[in-house]
Each structure stands twice: as C-alpha cells, then as structure tokens.
Amino acid sequence: MNLVNPKLVQERVWGIGNAFKVLNPKLKLTFDSQNLQHKLFEPIIYSLNSELHWKQSIAVNPAEEANRKGTMKILSRKLLHQLSFKQVSFFFLLYQLTHGLCLMEGIVKWAIRRCTYSTGKVSDFGQPTSASHPQLMKEGEITPGIATKEYISRRKRLLELLPENSLAIIAAAPVKMMTDVVPYTFRQDADYLYLTGCQQPGGVAVLSHECGLCMFMPEPKPHDVVWQGLIAGVDAALEMFKTEEAYPVSKLDKILPNMIKRSSKLFHNKLTATPTYTDLETFQNAAHVGKVSDLSIFTHELRWVKSPSELKLMKESAAIACQALLQTMLHSKTYPHEGMLSAKVEYECRMRGAQRMAFNPVVGGGPNASVIHYSRNDQKIKDGDLVLMDVGCELHGYCSDLTRTWSPCGSFSSIQEELYDLILQTNKECIRLCRPGASIRQIHNHSVELLCKGLKEIGILKRDAFRLYHQLNPTSIGHYLGMDVHDCSMISYDRPLKPGVVITIEPGIYVPSSFDGPERYQGTGIRIEDEVLITETGCEVLTGSMPKEIKHIESLLNNYSYTKDHHLSEKEISKPVSILNPRHDIVLHIIPVFLQNWPVMRASIYTQTLVNESAPCSPFCAQIFQ
C-alpha cells in the first residue's frame, strides 16, 4: 500500500517557493510557506494516508462513496474555519501534490472562496449586483431575491400573451423634481422593473416576437457622473439584464420607427409614456389609426399571481412592517405624537432592511382617524383617544400594507371597545372567506352586511342604513397587493381568487365629527387591516403576528411600553422566537429587548390567534396576559 511520505511532501513544498499564482488571471494568491508549523503536517498526512488506504484496498459502492465524500466535506469545512491564510495556501499546494484526493479537494474549494480576493475592479452598474453587494444578492440574481431566469421567464410569458406581430414599449419611470435641482426619491415603474430588473430612470424597453427584449439605455455625461455617479448603460443591459439587443437611447429615433412599421399592433405603458417615443411620427400615426393600446392588461395579468420568489419577498416585507409597527405601538404610550410615531415606524422599517415606505404613513389620532387617508401627522394624541396607523414598507420592489388601531394610554373605553369589536369580528369573518374561487367583491358584500347589522345594533345607523353606511365607509374591503400598494388595477374585483394572489382585508368605520348620529361615536375612526395570501387550501395571514385583540394590545402597552430613559441599541433588533402553547390555539412570539443600563431583560410579547380562537388559553398564556 502506497503511503504519503511526510518528509517528501515537506521537501517538495519548500521547493515550490514563496509565491504562487492560480491559473485564473483575475485571481491572485500570495502565501508564505516557510512559517508553516510542523505540527500541522501530522493530521493532514494521516488524513491523506487514510484516504489512500480507502481508495487502494476497498471496492467502494456508489452509495458509500457519496456518504464518505459528504462526511469529508463537512470535516474539511470545519478544519478550514480554523486555519490561517498561510495554512490554507499550503493546503492548495498539497492538493497539487496529492492529485485531487477528496479531503484536499473540499479544503481547496472552500479555501479559495474564504481566503482569496479578486484584484479586478467590480463594475458599477448604478444598482446593486452580486459582485458589488454580496451581502444583499446571490450570484445569478438581477435584483435581490429574483433570479435572471425568472426575469427571462416573465418576458417569455408576456410574449405568449401578446398578439402575433405586436410590439410592446415600456418606459422607465420619469425623475420627478422637488425643486429645480432637487429630485424626489426615484421609484421605478412596476411594469418596467418586473420585466427588466433595471431600477434606474431614462431607459426604454421594447419587447417583440422578432427581436426579444431590446433596451435603449441612457448615456451618462461626464458632468452627470460627477454629481450622480455611474448608471446602467448598453453594457449593463447586455451583461446584467440579459437583453437580446441594446442601444444608446440617442439611437431610439432611428431604430424604433422601423420596429413600429413592421408591427401590426402596439402596446405601451400609458402611465409612464415618454415623449422620447410618443413624439415619433410613426408612433403618432399608429395611435391615430387605433393601433396603440395599454400594455397593463397583460402585465397586470402576469403580476397578479406571485411566484415563490416574490412571495418570499412579500413575506419578508410584511414581517418588517409588523415588527416596525409593534415597536411603534410600544413607543406610543410615552410619545403620543402623530409625527413621532410616523418617524418611529419609518426608522424601524429602514433599520430592518426596507428601502422606503410603501406610502406616507397614516397616523390619525382622535378625530383625525376618521379621515381615511389622513397624512398631515402633526397633532398630539390626547389622553384616551385612539390612534389609527396605516403603514407599509417596500422591500426590493414588493410592498406591505397593514393597519392597527389602539389607545396609546393603554386601555379602551367601553364605547371604543364596542366599535372596535365589531370591526375585529368583521375582519376575522372576511379572512375566513379568503380561499380560491372567492372574489374580493363577494368578500366586500359580506363585510357590508356584517357592518350594517352591527352598526344598527349599536345605534349608529337607524334608517336607510345602506345609504348612510357608505358615508361611514366608502372603501372596499380590500385590494390586490404586490409591487404596487394597490396592485394590478386592471384585474377586476369580481375575478375568482387563485393560489399565489395576495390581497388585503381592511374593514373600517369612519365617523366624522359632523355625523348626524349619537354624539359619543362622533370623531371616531377604526380600521384593522391584514395581508392575506391565497393558498391551495385556504389562506395565510402574512401580518398575523401583529396583535389585534384588545386584551393583547392592552397587555403590551401596560407591561412592555418603552420609558423615556430607554434608548434602543443595535442589539435590540432580533428575530422573534416562536413558542406554541400546548392547546395550539395561540402562537407567542417573544422578542428579547435588552435595555441599556438596566440590570434586567424585558420581553415584548405579541400573539397570533389561530383557527381555534374559542379555545381557552393554556395556563402559560393566561399568566402572560392576566
């Protein structure tokens, strides 16, 4: 049996020298083998001899070989994490000497990833890439969480929907200016982002059966690069966005007219239509004869049902919004100001990775809550008043949207509790209706019946209930949710829901101060909104971790609110730990909150009520919420 001679290996290593280049020209390695400790030889030589013995004296079947290789890879990873750069360099040489044995092969592959770096410059395409933002994106992704193959699949599916010999034109969203030199924060048009993955302004994408995806990209001027940085150009379109063709946008007026002439039908995104192509004579002629239609009827159809990758991002976006709103709720007892709560929820969302808020937070205290899309957020919340917060964030192009209403002082009055319980029960009943085959319209009609009946019993509605009800709630029970907050507007609310569709369920009541009804209810606004994913067997509430039961909200506010001397540290943001109680009726999520300069740890506890809401809490739950 041939064994590895330690002395021979050592001599050959010393003879190779101090510098070594990997054959990949983009990668350079340097090492110093002279300082290698002799004690490192012994376990490695033993491992090599053991493997040689295995290979030369035993006939291994494929299953045993695969199992052994898996074990060796695990061992090599553990060993590698304890090695210095110099030691890893030695292993690379040893691999060359031992002709690729399993252990050394695993070590070398991990060594190169862990202990080498590229001396080549990382290209800047004006948006994150896997090379520039490895902490954010994986290799093979165009945008975080969405792979190149998914973008290509979206384009193919759109071509399947488009009529034969038609042309689709999609322009990027325009830059909107706050002043002559200050732009508003840019947000890409959802259709353009959905098809191209490009997060930057200035481009025009053209899709056809003849040429596939062709992108006309902006050309950065030296002055713009100095002030705004590099942007994606023709090279990025071909290399990053994987287009079949790409040209500078300056050539659009020479190339696009010929494409339009060869097409029998044109589709474009009317909301982002730009004079760059709408001013072309050929486009105007086509529009004059009725050849131009809105592309949204096709793109919204594609975006309506979410892919697994999209659902993962939407669940993460919902989780961020829930955590942020929970922290804001705990903050509200000490800081009952609309502006402060708005700032708090945005801060918490951004700290957890959201790029922006999905919309300006609605923070309505007292009578301001009766204004459905109140956005001034400039009033102090009076003691005993409710506050309604409608918030959502955007994570890598996907939005969340939820609403909770509570009393910052820590207790609901009997009148508030009466109205709140009606909205809560309507919320739960409507969520139970969410399943494949149902429609938003059907769920809405059921919610109107429930609320009209409840409002009559309370005494708010007496005569002509249906007409007066729409004064108290002119909104729908929900809407589609996705890349836009009110997503896929071209899809009717009468369409039967499918697995993969995400909607909101948001019953509410908005009684203005001028309403002709019982005075005790005037100036009250309550809404409870959840995100609901339609599944094969029913639905999943994506915002179910955010408390909405009165007893849970009051317990949180009275036992776990922040005090004015409490300042958040980075360690306070942690992932929730789920504990399922023995009765399987409530899931408790416990978030440890370590307070600076405090000798004790406090916990923020929030609950998600599952199907069996009528079941009594376990002794553990009862102790928590007593």
Residues 66-99 have pLDDT tens digits of 555 555 555 555 454 444 444 544 444 444 444 4
CB-CB contact of 498 with 437 (8 Å): no
Cα 36–Cα 40–Cα 42 angle in degrees, nearest 5: 135
Tokens of 289: 């004869």
The DSSP bridge pattern shows strands 166-171 and 265-268 to be parallel
Reduced 3-state DSSP string for 380-400 = ECCCCCCEEEEECEEECCEEC
Higher pLDDT, 602 or 314: 314
Cα 269–Cα 272–Cα 273 angle in degrees, nearest 5: 75
Any idea how long the chain is? 626
Domain ranges of the chain: 6-118, 141-304, 308-436+495-556, 565-626
**What average pLDDT is seen over the chain?**
80
pTM of the model: 0.74
Q: According to the model, what pLDDT value does residue 224 have?
A: 83
**What CATH architecture is 141-304?**
3-Layer(aba) Sandwich (3.40)
Q: According to the model, what pLDDT value does residue 24 have?
A: 39
Fold match, 141-304 / 308-436+495-556: no
Which pLDDT band holds residue 253 (cuts at 50, 70, 90)? very high
Q: Which residues contact 46 (CB under 8 A, 6 or more apart)?
A: none
Distance CA 66, CA 54 (A): 13
Q: Which of 46-50, 297-301, 378-382, 428-432 has the lowest mean pLDDT?
A: 46-50
pLDDT of 107 > 90? The answer is no
**What CATH architecture is 308-436+495-556?**
Alpha-Beta Complex (3.90)
pLDDT of 144 > 50? The answer is yes
Tokens of 362: 């609605």
The runs of H, that is alpha helices, within 537-609 are 550-560
CB-CB contact of 176 with 281 (8 Å): no
Reduced 3-state DSSP string for 51-64 = HHHHHHHCCCCHHH
Q: According to the model, what pLDDT value does residue 391 have?
A: 98
Which pLDDT band holds residue 52 (cuts at 50, 70, 90)? very low
Q: According to the model, what pLDDT value does residue 58 have?
A: 43
